Structure 1
Amino acid sequence: MKKGARIVTKPSALASWQESAARLVDVAAGRSPADMVIRNGRWANVHSGEIIDGIDVAIAAGRFAFVGPSAAHAIGPQTKVIDADRRYMAPGLCDGHMHVESGMVTATEFARAVIPHGTTTMFVDPHEIANVLGLEGVRLMHDEAAGLPINMFVQMPSCVPSAPGLENAGASLGPDDVREAMAWPNIIGLGEMMNFPGVVAGDSKMLGEIAATQSAGKTVGGHYASPDLGLPFHAYVAGGPADDHEGVRLADCIARVRQGMRAMLRLGSAWYDVASQIKAVTEHGLDPRNFILCTDDSHSGTLVNDGHMNRVVRHAIAQGLKPITAIQMATLNTAQHFGLERELGSITPGRRADLILTSDLVALPIEMVIARGVVLAENGRLTVEIAPYPYPEASRRTVHVGRKLTADDFVINAPARASKVKANVIGVIENQAPTRALIRELACEGGRVLMDREQDVCQIAVVERHRGFGGVSNALISGFGYNIDCAVASTVAHDSHHMIVVGTSHADMALAANRLAEVGGGVVVINDGKELALVELPIAGLMSDERAEIVAAKADKMVEAMRACGCSLNNAYMQHSLMALVVIPELRLSDIGLVDVRKFEKIPLFVDERV
């Protein structure tokens, strides 16, 4: 924050086009001065795919009024004039699918972190807070988003819980809740329909939510996390989802686009799915208008240190995409998909005046960010302050373990008289959301199954934290590389958000779980009884109320602590937080036990055992 920055306590509501039309026409015709004129820029025109030099832009009432060779006729005594100095003028960047909670900060702090990176529009699915606080949590996020100086549209969560019968969340939502939320002013559609087996099976609840959304004329988000592109995929498409961000292979995005869906290609903190799929455009010649760039999940360290949608656009360009096409995929394509083409996504008359100035379309340094006609950031720094949103006290008391846990709670008992067992083991895949279903032979001693550091097999547990039952579900996992006595615990545990604990020491696992119960949620790393790092997340056990920079620094320390314990995975914490997500294959652990997501059924921990 610069000294003397203007305070934005409650941004004035942007007038609709209908309310602004007369003024926009007068400014364009030269009868009225503009509020702001940007002169001498290179216009990145996402409608025509051109870069047009020598262009002026006039802004009035928070909207573009004129874009052409000279806006001298729109300059009056009070008009703010900005010299673009032949820099590129591109639309403000849009994130087509993301979860604020993954940043471990509130919507306000997320906005503060990403505005300097050129993001002026986000389409957020708050199903994380919904799984903890239900419809009230969605309303809190909706109201916070509506008060921001940029566009943050909210998708009503579709799957709370994400997989009924395979997990128990802190709340449950259904078609009536969806129908109610569709009337809220800032709800843009239905969040990702993760229960794809339910849609394929014609589940009345899932289809009822989709129907309620479509009846409101809004967009249904998709989530088909299966490699099967046969009849189940076709049945899912017939069920109504309009987009999908779960593709990881070239064949995935091609199949979706051919069936009339938008393929959302994501580059988050740990999901690297753009490079494999962008070849559909660069090598196979598919129409790029049906591709959208998004992040899905970005933690605070990525936002503060690496960027947001500017990072995704740069990455897409590095894969061989034309710069103007990459920008289209992060602006106009996104706006069109959500029915907002007349509101945003391009620098053209009538649209919201969201714009970035950059001297290089490939490297994409973000040198100025304007949203709704107001300069919000310059050269990587905010030029305004945004007041925090007052989350109620009830949202801060959500971690209910019910008792003090001990090392014995994390012991896996061996079958009677067994000296060895063959166990089903969750296999982590670096930089991808899916896991592998592994089978490993492990030794037993004293009636207990032993972990095996040479095979990189340690334990994972889900601790029930919504109702205080004190339940602990144990399993085995491989891929984190922990090689000393340690444990990592988190109350961010997509999607039901119990507590995930991964460790090599039962005692450290208990200490980690008890520490998070004590602080009301967060992430902690324990090594041999000592706390190496702690990120407190008091709001729903998911978000901090501290500044993004502070949270990022704590998150960096947490990542370093995980590394000190032997984990060298890129963004290992993001991998950790998804290990309970029972809608992405192959194996996951929920509060009811080990789940095979390929079959959507609970399976035994040991290969020869029955459930």
Structure 2
Amino acid sequence: MTPETLPSWPDAAADLIAIAAGRAPADTVVTGGKVVLVHTREVLDWQVAIARGRFAYVGPDASHCIGAETQVVDAAGRYVIPGLCDAHMHVESGMLTPAEFAAAVIPHGTTAMFTDPHEIANVLGLRGVRLMHDEARGLPCSMFVQMPSCAPSAPGLETTGHEITPEDVAEAMAWPGIVGLGEMMNFPGVAAGDPKMLAEMAATAQAGKTIGGHYASPDLGPAFHAYVAGGPADDHEGTCETDAVARVRQGMRSMMRLGSAWYDVETQITAVTEKGLDPRNFILCTDDCMAGTLVNDGHMNRVLRHAIACGCDPLVALQMCTINTATHFGLERELGSIAPGRRADLILTSSLTDLPVERVMALGQWVAQDGRLTAECPHIAWPADARSTVNMARDLTATDYEIPAPKGANTATARVIGVVENQAPTKALTRDLPVRNGLVEGDALTGGDTCQIALVERHRATGGVTNAFVAGFGYDRPMALASTVAHDSHHMIVVGTDRAQMALAANRLRAVGGGVCLFEGGEERALIELPIAGLMSDSPAAEVAAKADVLMAAMRDAGCRLNNAYMQHSLLALVVIPELRISDLGLVDVTTFALTDLIETS
């Protein structure tokens, strides 16, 4: 069963009624379990009958639903809980196609995902979104797609491979797997009443679908209230209790994320556990998870366990990644609970706190057992032009990364992007940097912590290279790390302590068609090939994760001690999250949404 072949509730209703009444047999009956009802936060010794991919009967005795061909599964005292839902995530951040992402997370109990493919939208436009949508429709789980809203995320401050228009949004709203509008990142535009942003939100509202939010600012004054008035219904950019409280007080859902590098649950969930606010307005999500996290640590089961460890009642936490999510997207009658008519998504687990995922059903079929996928996740045929997207004009040389100093200067005061561990925001720093032979240099090789960063244009072969500085990674030897995953415009980000190796890394990615690579000591130490849009691999998650492990080890060997620092690397061009970022147009002050000078002048 797939979303494409799953019958609608009305189409299946006659069969479900007959089974619940005992006039027809179910496909599957689960007995001997403790059924968790998220609508009431009860755990009952009930039984469940399933047919046509949906729950037909949920009650104390399903024996009247059993026929000669019915599969009867004894849960053996385990808990029967709804399949987990990820309310906000980006498939591309896993470096995987939708099929391989699903194959990685289904064994962890994730049966529904709400994904915003704005990464591929920046590279391939509406066509890229359609490719993601089409692959999602053929999977043995529910992968809903949000139509990306902001490509570019900040018009006038970056150049993307393609732009998303209100007409694109209106067209996508008619596709069967589109559930709403992806995160509205251009929050200054919304607050200012930008006609394009308003048109996209209007097209979504007219289709009766949900508008996703992204308010990445600590300012909770009039700008925040203006943003909420525009229509975004949720937000995942909060980092503290005050943020969470402010959002739910305005009728938004607070989405608290635990991704590979975003640890924002513990600091916000106190709004429920200590302040006592209504938990139905709080939702758990991942936002960005790398393949290594998915393979080694888990997905929404990891987030659920973390929320419980932060003091949240297990049944409340379970609501936050099941029924709360479904309700938010207008799908409460479709998924998120074990109740008649809903999609038959469930997990068998022996503990509500440790949450071992022992068996998984999605859309009425058993799809995983004891961490092993038992269903197929078919790929679409990704076209050739989706695999040829690194359009650099030429190979680069060390001179492309030179930063001229003010005439006659021995030192220069530079604006520097400051990386913050485990968070998406950066700090706007200043550093007095050395000048050698008329060029401003980083100081990472001389006892400091400032490296060079470059944004290499890769969509239109302009040959453009924007140079700046970044601090916080800890690199302390000659090296360079390059990536064509560069949220959200997805040019190429190169961070390094040696200009010659920065050129080697960029040229290597040009040669392989995209990915991530690290050079140290003049040699390639790690390479993850991402041939699809320079963002994704259609190899299995375990293979990508193994290469990611090599990358992480190479980063540590080069001096980096941050947790999952590659995520910070990949977001250094995200010009809608404060405070300081880089784009193909220059250095961006995200507190004022304006380009700023790299070198301060007196």
TM-score in terms of structure 2 length: 0.99
Match of 1:152, SS state, is strand
Match of 2:412, SS state, is strand
Deviations 1:93-146 (A, max 9, x none): 000000000000100000000000000000000000000000100100011111
Deviations 1:497-546 (A, max 9, x none): 00000000000000000000000000000002100000000000000111
Matched, 1:378 2:369: yes
Match of 1:468 among 438, 461, 465: 461
Alignment-derived partner of residue 3 in structure 1? none
Alignment-derived partner of residue 240 in structure 1? 231
1:58 and 1:83 map into 2 onto residues whose CA distance is: 12
Alignment-derived partner of residue 558 in structure 1? 551
1:433 and 1:373 map into 2 onto residues whose CA distance is: 38
Deviation (angstroms), 1:11: 7.6
Structure 1 unaligned runs (5+)? 1-7
Alignment-derived partner of residue 520 in structure 1? 513
Aligned residue runs from structure 1 range 270-309, under 5 A: 270-309=261-300
> 2:140·2:375 contact (CA, 8 Å) conserved in 1?
no
In the alignment, residue 341 of structure 2 is paired with which amino acid?
A: G
1:32 and 1:200 map into 2 onto residues whose CA distance is: 56
Deviation (angstroms), 1:385: 2.3
1:384 and 1:167 map into 2 onto residues whose CA distance is: 41
Matched, 1:43 2:26: no
1:62 and 1:404 map into 2 onto residues whose CA distance is: 53
Aligned residue runs from structure 1 range 200-599, under 5 A: 200-453=191-444, 454-599=447-592
1:27 and 1:336 map into 2 onto residues whose CA distance is: 26
1:341 and 1:539 map into 2 onto residues whose CA distance is: 34
1:517 and 1:440 map into 2 onto residues whose CA distance is: 32
CA 12–250 in structure 1, closer or farther in 2 if over 3 Å, else same: closer
Match of 2:138 among 131, 139, 147: 147
In the alignment, residue 88 of structure 2 is paired with which amino acid?
A: H
Deviation (angstroms), 1:203: 0.3
In the alignment, residue 16 of structure 1 is paired with which amino acid?
A: S
> 2:398·2:499 contact (CA, 8 Å) conserved in 1?
yes
Match of 2:582, SS state, is strand
Match of 2:480, SS state, is strand
Alignment-derived partner of residue 161 in structure 2? 170
2:350 and 2:600 map into 1 onto residues whose CA distance is: 59
Structure 2 unaligned runs (5+)? none
Alignment-derived partner of residue 174 in structure 2? 183
Deviation (angstroms), 1:387: 2.2
> 2:58·2:339 contact (CA, 8 Å) conserved in 1?
yes
1:387 and 1:268 map into 2 onto residues whose CA distance is: 26
In the alignment, residue 230 of structure 2 is paired with which amino acid?
A: G
- How many residues are matched? 600
- The list of structure 1 runs, each at least 4 consecutive aligned residues, that deviate by more than 4 angstroms after superposition, is none
Alignment-derived partner of residue 34 in structure 1? 26
Deviations 1:219-245 (A, max 9, x none): 000000000000100000001100000
In the alignment, residue 504 of structure 1 is paired with which amino acid?
A: T
In the alignment, residue 539 of structure 2 is paired with which amino acid?
A: E
Match of 2:15 among 10, 23, 36: 23
Alignment-derived partner of residue 51 in structure 2? 60
Deviations 1:392-422 (A, max 9, x none): 1110000011111000101111111110111
> 2:139·2:378 contact (CA, 8 Å) conserved in 1?
no
Match of 1:276, SS state, is coil
2:232 and 2:376 map into 1 onto residues whose CA distance is: 38
Alignment-derived partner of residue 4 in structure 1? none
In the alignment, residue 413 of structure 2 is paired with which amino acid?
A: K
Alignment-derived partner of residue 85 in structure 2? 94
Segment of structure 1 superposing worse, 214-223 or 387-396: 387-396
In the alignment, residue 534 of structure 1 is paired with which amino acid?
A: L
2:42 and 2:206 map into 1 onto residues whose CA distance is: 37
Identity of aligned residues (%): 67
Match of 1:385, SS state, is coil
1:575 and 1:237 map into 2 onto residues whose CA distance is: 28
TM-score in terms of structure 1 length: 0.97
In the alignment, residue 66 of structure 1 is paired with which amino acid?
A: Y
Match of 2:376, SS state, is strand
1:240 and 1:608 map into 2 onto residues whose CA distance is: 42
2:569 and 2:377 map into 1 onto residues whose CA distance is: 32
In the alignment, residue 71 of structure 2 is paired with which amino acid?
A: K
1:43 and 1:497 map into 2 onto residues whose CA distance is: 45
2:236 and 2:201 map into 1 onto residues whose CA distance is: 18
1:425 and 1:234 map into 2 onto residues whose CA distance is: 31
